[in-house]
Amino acid sequence: MLSKRLNKLVDCLPHCSTLADVGCDHGYVGIQALERGVARQVIFVDISQECLNKAAENCPAAFKSNASFVCRNGLGNIRADTAAICGMGGLEIISILDGADTLPKTVVLQPMRNVSEVRARLIEDYKITLDEKIYDGKFYDVIVADLSNERQSLTELELQFGLSNISCPTQDFVDYLLWEQTKLTNILNACSSQEVRSKLVLVEQALEIIRRKQL
Ligand SMILES: C[S@@+](CC[C@H](N)C(=O)[O-])C[C@H]1O[C@@H](n2cnc3c(N)ncnc32)[C@H](O)[C@@H]1O
């Protein structure tokens, strides 16, 4: 059975002709996309041959003719209408987008760090349609974006926490804010840091917006 995180990633994929599962490792995202009939073809991509071999072993024989396995860094000249780039650092995801000859129409991203930088990079070419915090043993950000000529603008809070988290906060997002608030307050009690204080201000602003929405 897929974890809540992997399930959410697959749920976010639009129906597409070619999906690139970049940084596929075990290949579960691409394999599920084939099994659910969400993608007609999947290009499994990983910089590590060893990881790619796992995806090839896990891919059921019935789908082998719809799958290809490419060992390379990022997308490069691979053409896909959708790309899932999940479970790696945000700066790596940005460098994969920057290095793509052709940007996929839709991207489903799950950066592990530097999430605001990913949002800032996305809005140069994409419109973010979903940006949700989920809890699955730890907190993860799941971002879906479509190529767009319209420049989307995000407030500082939206850049920090994600558009849909602010407009439609889920319980997982509220739990994340409360967890951050406790963590940052404990740090400030132990030592004084302007950076931590600024982060806490943003967390408390987001909590205040949510409180006002609930009134
Ligand atoms: C932690 S795994 C994530 C696997 C899967 N996408 C997930 O979300 O569960 C990260 C994978 O990304 C691969 N990777 C990291 N940087 C990459 C890059 N620039 N191009 C292709 N693969 C990369 C790693 O080799 C590793 O297999």
List the CATH number of the domain containing 44. 3.40.50.150
Are residues 41 and 123 located together in one domain of the fold? yes
Token pair, residue 141, equals 């950000």
Ligand 1 centre distance from Cα of residue 197 (Å): 33
Within-domain flag for 164? no
Are residues 105 and 189 located together in one domain of the fold? no
Token pair, residue 81, equals 């209408």
Give, for ligand 1, the residue of 47, 91, 142 to mutate: max count of ligand atoms closer than 8 Å to Cβ.
Answer: 47
Reduce the DSSP state of residue 148 to 3 states and report it: coil
Number of domains in the chain: 2
Which candidate, 140, 75, 146, 83, places its Cα nearest to that of 110? 140
Within-domain flag for 161? no
Interior angle at CA 140, CA 135 and CA 143, nearest 5: 120
Which candidate, 60, 53, 55, 94, places its Cα nearest to that of 74? 94
Ligand 1 atom closest to the Cα of residue 51 is: 27
Are residues 58 and 139 located together in one domain of the fold? yes
Residue for token pair 């190529």: 147
Within-domain flag for 157? no
Are residues 93 and 175 located together in one domain of the fold? no
Interior angle at CA 98, CA 66 and CA 19, nearest 5: 15
Residue range(s) defining the domain that contains residue 80: 4-152
Ligand 1 centre distance from Cα of residue 22 (Å): 7
Within-domain flag for 158? no
Are residues 203 and 136 located together in one domain of the fold? no
Nearest CA to ligand 1 atom 14: 23
Are residues 129 and 95 located together in one domain of the fold? yes
State how far the alpha carbon of 152 is from the alpha carbons of 19, 37, 92, 148, 167, in Å. Answer: 25, 31, 22, 9, 15
Are residues 131 and 36 located together in one domain of the fold? yes
Ligand 1 centre distance from Cα of residue 93 (Å): 10
Token pair, residue 66, equals 């719809």
Are residues 142 and 178 located together in one domain of the fold? no
Within-domain flag for 58? yes
Ligand 1 centre distance from Cα of residue 190 (Å): 36
How far, in Å, CA of 192 to CA of 56, rounded?
Answer: 50
Are residues 148 and 175 located together in one domain of the fold? no
Instruction: Evaluate whether 135 touches 172 at the Cβ level (below 8 Å).
Output: yes
pLDDT in tens, the chain (215 residues): 899 999 999 999 999 999 999 999 999 999 999 999 999 999 999 999 999 999 999 999 999 999 999 999 999 999 999 999 999 999 999 999 999 999 999 999 999 999 999 999 999 999 999 999 999 999 999 999 999 999 999 999 999 999 999 999 999 999 999 999 999 999 999 999 999 999 999 999 999 999 998 87
Are residues 37 and 65 located together in one domain of the fold? yes
Is pTM beyond 0.75? Reply is: yes
Pocket of ligand 1 (CB under 6 A): 22-25, 29, 45-48, 51, 73-74, 86-88, 92, 96, 110
How far, in Å, CA of 149 to CA of 140, rounded?
Answer: 28
Ligand 1 centre distance from Cα of residue 132 (Å): 21
How far, in Å, CA of 209 to CA of 111, rounded?
Answer: 25
